[in-house]
Amino acid sequence: MRHALALSMAALLAVMGACDKGKKTGGQGSGSGSAASFEAEQAQFDAERRPDKLVEALGLQPGSRVADIGAGSGLITVHLARAVAPNGKVVATDVSGAVLELLSQRLKAAKLDTVVEPRVVAADTPGLEPGMYDAILLAEVDHYFTDPVAWLKSAATALKPGGKLVISNRIYHRAQSMAAAGKAGLGTPVESTPMPSHFIAVFTAGEAKK
């Protein structure tokens, strides 16, 4: 999970994002910063969390523009970057600049830093340009939003026509996630459960409920 100390609400969200994006591993962003430590952490994460399934759900290809929300130290971001390289872009957001520094180190070690833009955003604000994204990923982060319905509505405006908003989280958060998505008018998702502990829900822009 994104590792940090909670001092304020924004900081708490950042940490939980970084802690939780260990969410994406059970402990993201704890490495020493060496290439070897990044590789070991990445290998464990990849085996446990199957990020390839997220890349598949997002429908990414070279040249795509994707946002990784609450990116933490980049354990998923590195896979998104490989999928959209060489001429695509990953905007990796987090409320913590410190944890995004770990992300930058990971991406530099993987020689993918030119594909990724780390971006510090305010808590509960997507911070994305309207109509610019082929895909937006929320992996183990939406349950931290103070107002997830408002956040999702705002994020949906950043998608291109036919773009995908993908929510992935632990199964016990599914009801909360789907309720917020429904109230935000995202429509009916295509769902999968690549692992017993997690679900993936794919919403497509333009297929929202009328």
- Is it the case that residue 13 has pLDDT exceeding 70? no
Do the beta carbons of residue 181 and residue 175 sit within 8 Å? no
Residue 3 lies in a domain: no
pTM for the whole thing? 0.82
Residue 210 lies in a domain: no
Do the beta carbons of residue 76 and residue 24 sit within 8 Å? yes
- Is it the case that residue 209 has pLDDT exceeding 70? no
What is the rounded distance in angstroms from the CA atom of residue 103 to the CA atom of residue 113?
A: 9
Q: pLDDT tens across 111-162, in order?
A: 999 999 999 999 889 999 999 999 999 999 999 999 999 999 999 999 999 9
What is the rounded distance in angstroms from the CA atom of residue 61 to the CA atom of residue 170?
A: 26
With a CB cutoff of 8 Å and minimum separation 6, the contacts of 93 are 67, 68, 69, 70, 71, 119, 120, 121, 126, 127, 128
Q: Quote the number of domains for the chain.
A: 1
Question: Is there a cis peptide before residue 196, judged by omega within 30 degrees of 0?
Answer: no
Residue 209 lies in a domain: no
> What per-residue confidence (pLDDT) applies to 33?
60
What is the rounded distance in angstroms from the CA atom of residue 6 to the CA atom of residue 62?
A: 38
Do the beta carbons of residue 179 and residue 137 sit within 8 Å? no
Q: Which domain holds residue 44?
A: 9-204
Do the beta carbons of residue 160 and residue 128 sit within 8 Å? no
DSSP class of 5: -
Mean pLDDT for 25-52 is: 66
Residue 177 lies in a domain: yes
Residue 59 lies in a domain: yes
CATH number at residue 169: 3.40.50.150
What is the rounded distance in angstroms from the CA atom of residue 101 to the CA atom of residue 107?
A: 10
Name the maximum alpha-carbon separation found in the chain: 50
